[in-house]
Structure formats: structure tokens, C-alpha cells
Structure 1
């Protein structure tokens, strides 16, 4: 890996997913996760991104997911949006019936 290469949004998303897995495993506090994610979005090079995970062990079991983590996150967001929309529809129906 050439550390001077510019990072892409996919590279940043991969690092955020890795940081999330480390937070879930208890290696990072929520404050540390938040600070590092903020630094991810300001990172310019692959070296900048690598520095954010340098003190964390490799996640061999999760490394195979790669791009699937982004797709999974999008599915979760879509489900959350669907639940919110359904809640608003039910609330609107309730308000219409009670007036």
C-alpha cells in the first residue's frame, strides 16, 4: 500500500466499519470512536487512514466481509427509514380518526 495515495470514500467507509467493529468488541470507547470517525472524514491519504487503526489488532474473522459491511449498513438504514415512515403513517391515521 502506498501511504501517499489519496483515500477514496470507499476507503473511508471501510475504516469506519472497522472502527465500529472494534468499538463493538470493546476496544474503543464511544468517545474514541467518535473522534476517530471525525478524523476519517478529514483524512486525505491512505497513510492518514492507516494511522487511525494502527494501534488496533487485525480483525481476521471480519476482514472477509469487506464491501458487505457498507451494503449491510445501507440495508439497516433502509429498514430504519421504513420503520420511521410506517410510524408516521400510523400516527397520521390515528390523528385523522380521533379528530
Structure 2
């Protein structure tokens, strides 16, 4: 990567998304995220953008199909939905029996 190349809006959006993922992971506070995200929009070169994430570890590509955390989150949501549906059925049965 040539650090002197001018950054595009797509480059800036990518860096903000990366900073957001690091904030979600607990590596950055909201204040740090805000400061760095503000600096992203004033960055002129790819080197300026790289400096904003230099102290953060590389993240796996979020577009990869093998992202287990996405599947895990869907399974948890399905389990919550199933528990809620079962609770409603039991509650409906209880109300029907007690009337």
C-alpha cells in the first residue's frame, strides 16, 4: 500500500466500520471511537487512515460466510423466540383451563 495515495470515501467508510467493530469488541471506548471516526473524515491519504488503526489487531473479514458469531447470534435468537412461543402456549393453556 502506498501511504501517500489519496483516500477515497470508500476507504474512509471501511475504516469507520473497522473502528466500530473494535468498539463493539471492547477495544475502544465510545470517546476513542468518536475521536478516531472524526479524524477519519479529515484524513487525506491512506497513510493517515492506517495511523488511526495501527494500534489495533487485524479483524477477520466481516463478509466471510464462515463467521461463526453471526450463526451463533441467530441460534440464540431462535432459542429466545422458541422459549417465548412455548411460554405463550403454556399461558394460553393455563388461562383456558382456569376459566
Count of residue correspondences: 64
3-state secondary structure, aligned to 2:19: helix
Give per-residue Cα distances to partners, 1:48-82, cap 9 Å, x unaligned.
0000000000002xx2529xxxxxxxxxxxxxxxx
Q: CA RMSD in A?
A: 1.3
Question: Residues 25-44 of structure 1 correspond to what in structure 2 (within 5 A)?
Answer: 25-44=25-44
- Distance in 2 of aligned mates of 1:65 and 1:41: 24
Instruction: Give 1:97's aligned residue.
Output: none
What 5-or-longer segments of structure 1 have no aligned partner?
A: 67-99
- Distance in 1 of aligned mates of 2:4 and 2:63: 25
Per the normalisation by structure 1, the TM-score is 0.62
What 5-or-longer segments of structure 2 have no aligned partner?
A: 65-99
Runs of 4+ in 1 over 2 A off after TM superposition: none
CA pair 22-11 structure 1, distance change in 2 beyond 3 A: same
Instruction: Give 2:6's aligned residue.
Output: 6
